[in-house]
Structures are given as structure tokens and as C-alpha cells.
């Protein structure tokens, strides 16, 4: 039986586990779950760490610190459209970055963490009151390009680096058992750290390093802090799964009725994502209950298989025409259905042609790459 995200948040809150690790596909409700959990733990907290324009509450009442898509709303670009000279990243005033950067003087650690996951040639420079940041890049000819604008992935890396530095400080602070000996009382009531899909733009080596660093901070925590981590990235999940052996592990699923389920992962090793995805697709095809989100599953399956087989692009695995080319329509449809962002695209139903295409693609992938269905046979075409 499916549950609401609020009920799942309550289940997470009731757990006595120090660490809860959740794998979920994109569109399954991870970010909304983090919001539900925040509202459950601190329903009256209105700090500007939300990034939603609400008034700042007393940070000493803070019960949850979390990183999700809303965290980036604390940072926004001033693109200097008038002069087009010096784009800079603005930091909205808030007590927690102020404590990290101003009170604790951790700007160099933020820079170090940022360069660890990007490049040591890409350097942030804070202004005097830490309300804005500019970036420079040192090129191979020893020339420096100032006032560059970051890519979206680099920007996410920077925001994460600020949060990561803050989080590390919080853990170190709370590890001091004697409350009166701590540098601040802002985190004395903190109970949870909720991290939803940190930097997904990293390459595999940096993603592994990030997972190991996160696990290291968690294992270093000696206080009563509890940690919840959600991700859609299999590699990130696998590393955390192995690093945090004592964690409670789940699979979050979105069900047909719009509800959700939180399934225990009891295996000592991470579950086989590609086999799970293929099984779900074949079941949907055989029952005719194909929904738009199944194209997200298909894309995930193609991405994992292409990585394993050494293809540069997942689209290279799609069936080819007599001329040796992939069908651009099939690629566009998979892209469209697996990245729905607008309300008009949120209808889960598909027409018969789209269902038939799903069945055709899964069958051809099974035949070409010698996958077997749960029954030992290639998947049947739906419709």
C-alpha cells in the first residue's frame, strides 16, 4: 500500500538509525520528501536557508540543516547587464553563511573544497563582507581571465562547497560534549542533517571522492545528530552503501496511484539497478500499464548499459536504421519524457504509439545486447 510523503517523512523521523540512505529515480519525490521532513521536524522554522524569501528565525532554534534544490536559491547571479563586465554571484544574507564565512573565517576552506571538485585554476574571490563572489580562471599560458560566469554545474559545486564547509563545522562543534565550551550555541538543538542529491554534475572520480568525504564526516560525528541522504545516482549510492555499512537503506518509489512506497533494501550489497529497471519496464509492457515515467527508467537503463559497454552516449544503444544511424525521434522522445519540467508535461498517460515505441525499444535492446526478461524471454511489445 502506498503512502503520502508526509507519512514516509514520519517513518524516517521515527527511526533510531544514525544514517538513513535512500535511492530514488528522478521524479520520485526526493526533494519534496526533504521539504516534508523539514516541515515535520521544524514546522514553524522560517530561516532564510529555505531560499523562499521568508523572514529569518532565531538560528539557535534550528533542528534541521539540509541541502537540496532550494539551497541554491540562496545564491543568484548579478550579470552586470548594463556594463557586461563583472558578473558576480550574490549571497543572500543569512545567519549560517555569515557564521561560516564571517565569524569562523572559513572562506579559504570553501575555496579549497570547491577547487577539489572542479579545478585548482578556477578561483572564487569573496568581497569584504562576503555578500558576493567573483571567479577567475588561470589559463595555460599563465594569463588569468577575471570575472567569468560559472557553468550551472560549477555553480552547484560552489554552493555545495559552502554547505559542506558549514556542515563540517557543525559536526566539529557538536562533537564538543561540553555545551559551554562550543564556539556558538546556534546548533545546540540541531537533530538532523538532510542531504538531497548533492552535486550530480561531477565525473565519476570526483563523485566517488564526494561520497567518501560525506561518509567520513558522518562517521566522525560523535553527537546525537542523525543523517538522511537521498540520491538518484547509482554510483554515489553504491559508494555510500559500502562506506556506511550500518545505515538503514531504502528504495523510494512513486506508485500508479500518485502515492509512494519506501522499500527496505536488506541485501549486504547494493541492488542491481539495471536489472531492476529492466524488470519494471517489462512488467509495464506486459500489463500495458506504461506511463511517462517509464521513459525515465528506460533512459537510466540505457545510461548504465552504455557506461558498462564503453559507449560515449546512451543514444548509441538505440536501434539503427539501414544507414547505420539512430532514429532522432526516439532519442527526442526519451529526452522529453524523462525530463518533464512543465505542468503541461506532467500527465502520466501515454498514447498508443508511445506505448508501442517503448515496447519496441525494450525488445530490440533485449535482442541486441542479449538481456533476458524475468521469464527468460525478450519483452513483448505492448499495444
pLDDT tens track for 42-81: 886 444 444 443 434 455 568 999 898 778 888 999 876 5
pLDDT at 314: 82
Place of cell 533494501: 265
What nine digits make up the cell of 243?
562506506
CA dist., res. 160 & res. 164, Å (int): 6
CA dist., res. 8 & res. 261, Å (int): 8
* DSSP assignments along 179-246, one per residue: GGGSS-STTTT--EEEEES---SS-HHHHHHHHHHHHHHHHH--SS-EEEEEES-HHHHHHHHHH-TT
pLDDT at 4: 95
User: Minimal CA–CA distance to 231: which of 219, 246, 241?
Assistant: 241
* For the chain, domain boundaries: 5-264, 273-369
pLDDT at 375: 45
Residues of the chain with pLDDT under 70: 44-61, 80-85, 141, 266-274, 276, 308, 322-327, 338-349, 370-383
- β-pair partners for 125: 134
> For residue 144, what is the enclosing H or E element?
strand 144-145
- β-pair partners for 24: 252
How many C-beta atoms surround the C-beta of residue 215 within 10 A?
22
How many C-beta atoms surround the C-beta of residue 267 within 10 A?
10
The domain over range 5-264 is classified in CATH as 3.40.50.300: yes
For residues 2 and 259, is the Cβ–Cβ distance under 8 A? Answer: yes
User: Minimal CA–CA distance to 12: which of 222, 231, 233, 249?
Assistant: 249
For residues 186 and 95, is the Cβ–Cβ distance under 8 A? Answer: yes
How many C-beta atoms surround the C-beta of residue 255 within 10 A?
12
Indicate the burial class of 53 (C-beta count within 10 angstroms; 0-12, 13-18, 19 or more).
exposed
pLDDT at 60: 55
CA dihedral (140, 142, 145, 151) positive or negative: positive
pLDDT at 232: 86
Residues 6+ apart with CB under 8 A from 25: 232, 254, 293, 296, 297, 300
pLDDT tens track for 204-255: 778 888 999 999 999 999 999 999 999 988 778 888 988 998 999 998 988 8
CA dist., res. 352 & res. 271, Å (int): 32
Amino acid at each position: 500500500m502506498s503512502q503520502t510523503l508526509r507519512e514516509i517523512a514520519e517513518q524516517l523521523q521515527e527511526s533510531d538509525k544514525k544514517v538513513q540512505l535512500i535511492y530514488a529515480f528522478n521524479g520520485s519525490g526526493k526533494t519534496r520528501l526533504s521539504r516534508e521532513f523539514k516541515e515535520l521536524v521544524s514546522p514553524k522554522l522560517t530561516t532564510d536557508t529555505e531560499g523562499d524569501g521568508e523572514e529569518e528565525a532565531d538560528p539557535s532554534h534550528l533542528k534541521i540543516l539540509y541541502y537540496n534544490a532550494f539551497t541554491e536559491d540562496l545564491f543568484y547571479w548579478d550579470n552586470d547587464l548594463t556594463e557586461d563586465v563583472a558578473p558576480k554571484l550574490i549571497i543572500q544574507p543569512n545567519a549560517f553563511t555569515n557564521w561560516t564565512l564571517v565569524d569562523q573565517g572559513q572562506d579559504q576552506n570553501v575555496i579549497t573544497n570547491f577547487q577539489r571538485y572542479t579545478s585548482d585554476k578556477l578561483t572564487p574571490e569573496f568581497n569584504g563582507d562576503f555578500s558576493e563572489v567573483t571567479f577567475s580562471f588561470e589559463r595555460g599560458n599563465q594569463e588569468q581571465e577575471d570575472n567569468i560566469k560559472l557553468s550551472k554545474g560549477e555553480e552547484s559545486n560552489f554552493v555545495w562547497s559552502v554547505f559542506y564547509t558549514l556542515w563540517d563545522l557543525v559536526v566539529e562543534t557538536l562533537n564538543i560534549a561540553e555545551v559551554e565550551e562550543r564556539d556558538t550555541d546556534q546548533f545546540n538543538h540541531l537533530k538532523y542533517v538532510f542531504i538531497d542529491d548533492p552535486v550530480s554534475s561531477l565525473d565519476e572520480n570526483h563523485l566517488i571522492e564526494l561520497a567518501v568525504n560525506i561518509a567520513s564526516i558522518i562517521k566522525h560525528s560523535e553527537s546525537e545528530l542523525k543523517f538522511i541522504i537521498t540520491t538518484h545516482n547509482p554510483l554515489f549510492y553504491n559508494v555510500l552503501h559500502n562506506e556506511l555499512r550500518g545505515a538503514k537503506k531504502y528504495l523510494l518509489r512513486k506508485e500508479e496511484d500518485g502515492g509512494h512506497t519506501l522499500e527496505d533494501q536488506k541485501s549486504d550489497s547494493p541492488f542491481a539497478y539495471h536489472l531492476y529497471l529492466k524488470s519494471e519496464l517489462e512488467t509495464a509492457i506486459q500489463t500495458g500499464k506504461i506511463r511517462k515515467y517509464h521513459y525515465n527508467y528506460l533512459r537510466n537503463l540505457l545510461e548504465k548499459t552504455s557506461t558498462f559497454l564503453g559507449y560515449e552516449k546512451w543514444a548509441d544503444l538505440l536501434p539503427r536504421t539501414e544507414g547505420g544511424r539512430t532514429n532522432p525521434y526516439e532519442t527526442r522522445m526519451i529526452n522529453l519524457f524523462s525530463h518533464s519540467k512543465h505542468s503541461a508535461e506532467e500527465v502520466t498517460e501515454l498514447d498508443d504509439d508511445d506505448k508501442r515505441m517503448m515496447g519496441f525499444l525494450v525488445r530490440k535492446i533485449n535482442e541486441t545486447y542479449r538481456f533476458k526478461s524475468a521469464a527468460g524471454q525478450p519483452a513483448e511489445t505492448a499495444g
